[in-house]
């Protein structure tokens, strides 16, 4: 929270006290937690990296902890046992989402499968994701176009190795991920590796990430929502409008082609599938729904996957022995081919272990997408009232030394000969969540992560940019929708 916001909070205390924070008398016992200050609660204890500050508090107050942010009660779940209670045993009670004010831009929360309350409409939209957009046959059918984007990445790295160009790893991963998502959705590349071409998209996604990660007074003090004091909803509306406008143009162009040539061959991409699905009135899928579904997949897939890739390359460059193991496995499996193919993935067991370790050590969503309880509940002997926000603190779970030996150390070997997976069944590793709200994009992310990381390291060695040594590489994260490196990784590829 910035200084101006704090000033606003202080100036509103005298006016808001009676309305917001009269104590609620109850004999029921809430989970333990630090004492909340009048009005502001525990806001000042969040800091710049809430993942670290809240994890530190959880070590003191336990795996089920209460915090108060303004008038918003939040319960933090910080152990696999408590996560299982919330995400599996009582999933029906904890399945609703807490919708941050910024995400109400363009009424996205009323359409997005990420925010819709569990019900008939949510089930229909979820079905579109799992059975229409991201089914195995659909992804298999679009493999060739994704392979083209991976070839483009290889060519860019190869050219950079010839010229000795410093590569911004996160930016190259972002461009590739964005294009991998775009070709899967509507058979079109949206940007290239020219810096100027990426500016608009990086600004859009950078702002979405930044806005989503900032504490918002409108969430902590609901009576302030109409005023949007920090302007976060306005910023979200601006960039949502840009994305929706882009998708509107793509959809209209596709509809014109279909009208002009009804018998022409289809592109067999997600957009054609969605348009066909929407033409069946029984599915109740409007063009507006289609645009917001595309936003969901773009936002959820592009920024998070590129961030995870940057963390993976960072850890591998900092641990040359692990990098050597990945390179040897790639050589054994794919030989002299330039890049990984999706059919190679089941054979790349060490690379799989690397990806699991990155998900553990650097989860992109340290609290997942917050949930909201819609009825009073009791968990582990504690009362959780209706309307409470729920954080599942996977950052703490993934770094719990009772579960993981040497939890701060990058050690992919811990996943070799292990059945622990990241698809929501193992509550010690939950990068994509679990239960009915588990991320539906896992199948696509699984393919993209292996191909991208494999291409970065298979035929290239790397050296850090001039003036930077291994000891100087920063591994501190920047809190947001996706947990990016605070300082981007830059390095020079060397063709092997």
Annotated binding site for heme: 439
Termini Cα distance of the chain: 47
Give the whole-angstrom CA distance, residue 273 versus residue 280: 11
Would you give the DSSP letter of residue 72?
A: E
Closest CA to 454 of 358, 367, 338, 361: 338
Task: Pick out the residues of the known binding site.
Answer: 439
| Six-digit token string for 86 | 């919330």
Give the whole-angstrom CA distance, residue 66 versus residue 165: 50
Give the whole-angstrom CA distance, residue 27 versus residue 46: 28
Contact 209/174 with Cβ under 8 angstroms?
no
CA-only gyration radius of the chain, Å: 23
Q: What are phi and psi of 370, to 5 degrees?
A: -55, 145
- Give the helix/strand (H/E) hosting 20: helix 3-20
For the chain, the 3-state helix, strand and coil shares in percent, each to the nearest 5, are 55, 10, 35
Give the position of tokens 């499968």.
Answer: 113
Contact 354/326 with Cβ under 8 angstroms?
yes
Contact 485/357 with Cβ under 8 angstroms?
no
Sheet holding 167-168, edge to edge: 167-168, 490-495, 460-464
- The torsion of the CA quartet 145, 150, 151, 156, rounded to 10 degrees, works out to 140
**Helical H segments across 116-231, by residue range:** 120-127, 136-141, 143-163, 169-186, 195-213, 217-220
Give the whole-angstrom CA distance, residue 76 versus residue 330: 40
Contact 43/9 with Cβ under 8 angstroms?
yes
Closest CA to 415 of 466, 348, 464, 487: 348
b/e 136-147 (16+ beta carbons within 10 angstroms → b): eebbeebeebbb
Give the whole-angstrom CA distance, residue 50 versus residue 356: 23
Contacts of 270 (CB under 8 A, 6+ apart): 132, 133, 138, 142, 184, 185, 186, 297
| Six-digit token string for 472 | 């100087």
Give the whole-angstrom CA distance, residue 2 versus residue 228: 15
**HSE of 378 in the Cβ direction (CA atoms, 13 Å)?**
4
């Amino acid at each position: 929270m910035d200084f101006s916001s704090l000033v606003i909070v202080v100036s509103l205390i005298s006016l808001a006290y009676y309305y917001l924070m009269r104590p609620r008398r109850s004999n029921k016992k809430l989970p333990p937690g630090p004492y909340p200050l009048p009005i502001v609660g525990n806001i000042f204890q969040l800091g710049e990296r809430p993942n670290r500050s809240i994890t530190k508090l959880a070590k003191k107050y336990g795996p089920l902890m209460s915090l108060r942010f303004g008038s918003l009660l939040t319960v933090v779940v910080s152990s696999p046992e408590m996560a299982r209670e919330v995400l599996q045993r009582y999933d029906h009670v904890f399945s609703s989402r807490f919708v941050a004010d910024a995400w109400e831009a363009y009424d996205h929360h009323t359409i997005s499968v990420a925010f819709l309350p569990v019900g008939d409409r949510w089930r229909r939209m979820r079905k579109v994701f799992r059975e229409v957009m991201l089914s195995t046959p659909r992804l298999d059918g679009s493999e060739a176009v994704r392979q083209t984007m991976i070839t483009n990445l290889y060519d860019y790295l190869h050219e950079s190795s010839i010229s000795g160009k410093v590569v911004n790893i996160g930016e190259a991963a972002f461009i590739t991920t964005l294009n991998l998502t775009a070709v899967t959705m509507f058979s079109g590349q949206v940007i290239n590796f020219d810096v100027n071409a990426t500016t608009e998209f990086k600004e859009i996604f950078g702002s979405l990430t930044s806005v989503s990660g900032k504490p918002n007074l409108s969430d902590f003090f609901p009576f302030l929502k109409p005023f949007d004091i920090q302007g976060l909803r306005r910023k979200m509306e601006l960039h949502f409008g840009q994305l929706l406008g882009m998708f509107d143009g793509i959809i209209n162009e596709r509809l014109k082609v279909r009208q002009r040539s009804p018998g022409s061959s289809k592109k067999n991409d997600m957009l054609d599938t969605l348009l066909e699905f929407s033409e069946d009135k029984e599915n109740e899928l409007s063009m507006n729904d289609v645009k917001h579904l595309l936003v969901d997949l773009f936002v959820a897939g592009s920024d998070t996957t590129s961030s995870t890739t940057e963390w993976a390359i960072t850890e591998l460059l900092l641990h040359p022995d692990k990098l050597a193991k990945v390179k040897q496995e790639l050589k054994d499996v794919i030989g002299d081919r330039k890049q990984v193919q999706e059919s190679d993935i089941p054979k790349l067991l060490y690379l799989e272990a690397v990806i699991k370790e990155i998900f553990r050590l650097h989860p992109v969503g340290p609290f997942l997408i917050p949930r909201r309880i819609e009825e009073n509940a009791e968990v582990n002997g504690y009362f959780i009232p209706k309307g409470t926000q729920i954080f599942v603190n996977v950052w703490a779970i993934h770094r719990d030394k009772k579960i993981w030996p040497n939890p701060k150390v990058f050690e992919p070997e811990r996943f070799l000969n292990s059945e622990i997976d990241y698809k929501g069944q193992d509550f010690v590793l939950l990068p994509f969540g679990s239960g009915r709200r588990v991320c539906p994009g896992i199948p696509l992310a699984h393919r993209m992560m292996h191909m991208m990381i494999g291409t970065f390291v298979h035929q290239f060695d790397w050296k850090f940019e001039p003036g930077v040594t291994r000891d100087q590489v920063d591994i501190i994260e920047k809190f947001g929708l996706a947990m990016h490196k605070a300082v981007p990784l830059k390095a020079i590829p060397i063709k092997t």
